[in-house]
């Protein structure tokens, strides 16, 4: 999880694609900063995949924690480079890699390893809830 800071007005839409490694806001939090204090901001809404609508606060600095894509691995990446990913995700990588390597030699073992990876991934993504407020607005004025 990474963080970014934006200066914004209330009811302003922020395009999160300005963050080159932005992936999503699942399980992340938005904070409002004013006069040295930092408060959670619950009045935000994600529109589409990358437009963040800030509501309910006035002009100020917003601190956004977001999920980022890991850096790309190339031939020039040093062998001792450690991927900046969560430990919960890192422990799943050996199962995935082994499942790919055993595909040709032992399909039963490869399938078991892939199932282990998939179940771990499902547990990991199930726990990544999104904070923020969900509401609706009546267009007809009935409420």
pLDDT digits (tens, 9 = 90+) for 11-56: 788 888 899 988 888 777 888 887 878 888 888 888 888 888 887 6
**Which pLDDT score is estimated for 142?**
62
Domain boundary among 40, 68, 96: 68
Same domain, 51 and 88: no
- 123/127 Cα distance (integer angstroms): 6
Answer whether residue 143 is part of any domain: no
Q: Same structural domain for residues 18 and 44?
A: yes
Q: Does 86 reside within a domain?
A: yes
pLDDT on residue 77:
92
Q: What is the pLDDT of residue 141?
A: 59
Higher pLDDT among residues 141 and 75, named by residue = 75
Cα 107 to Cα 29: distance, rounded to the nearest angstrom = 42
Cα 40 to its chain centre, rounded Å, is 17
Is 20 in the same domain as 62?
Answer: yes
Backbone angles phi, psi at 99, to 5 degrees: -65, -35
pLDDT at 60: 80
Q: What's the total number of domains in the chain?
A: 2
Rounded to an integer, the average pLDDT of 87-112 is 94
Task: Find the distance separating the first CA and the last CA of the chain, reported in whole Å.
Answer: 39
Domain range for 12 = 2-68
Determine contact, residues 41/30, Cβ cutoff 8 Å. Answer: yes
Helices (H), the chain: 87-90, 93-101, 107-126
pTM of the model as a whole: 0.62
| Residue given tokens 């006069």 in the structure block | 35
pLDDT of residue 104: 92
Residue 82 lies in a domain: yes
In this structure, what token pair is assigned to residue 76?
Answer: 């020039």
Do 88 and 48 sit in the same domain of this protein? no
pLDDT at res. 128: 59
- 37 and 88: one domain? no
**Residue 139, domain member (yes or no):** no
Give the closest residue to 5 by CA, choosing from 54, 73, 78, 43: 54
Model confidence at 10, in pLDDT bands (50, 70, 90)?
low
Return the pLDDT at 137: 56
């Amino acid at each position: 999880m990474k963080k970014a800071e934006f200066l914004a007005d209330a009811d302003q839409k922020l395009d999160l694609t300005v963050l080159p490694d932005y992936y999503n806001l699942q399980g992340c939090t938005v904070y409002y900063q004013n006069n040295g204090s930092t408060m959670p901001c619950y009045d935000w809404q994600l529109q589409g995949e990358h437009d963040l609508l800030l509501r309910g606060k006035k002009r100020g600095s917003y601190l956004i924690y977001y999920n980022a894509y890991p850096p790309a691995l190339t031939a020039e990446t040093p062998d001792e480079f450690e991927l900046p990913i969560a430990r919960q995700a890192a422990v799943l990588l050996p199962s995935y890699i082994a499942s790919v390597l055993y595909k040709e030699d032992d399909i039963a073992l490869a399938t078991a390893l892939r199932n282990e990876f998939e179940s771990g991934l499902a547990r990991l993504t199930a726990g990544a809830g999104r904070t923020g407020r969900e509401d609706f607005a009546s267009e007809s004025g009935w409420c």
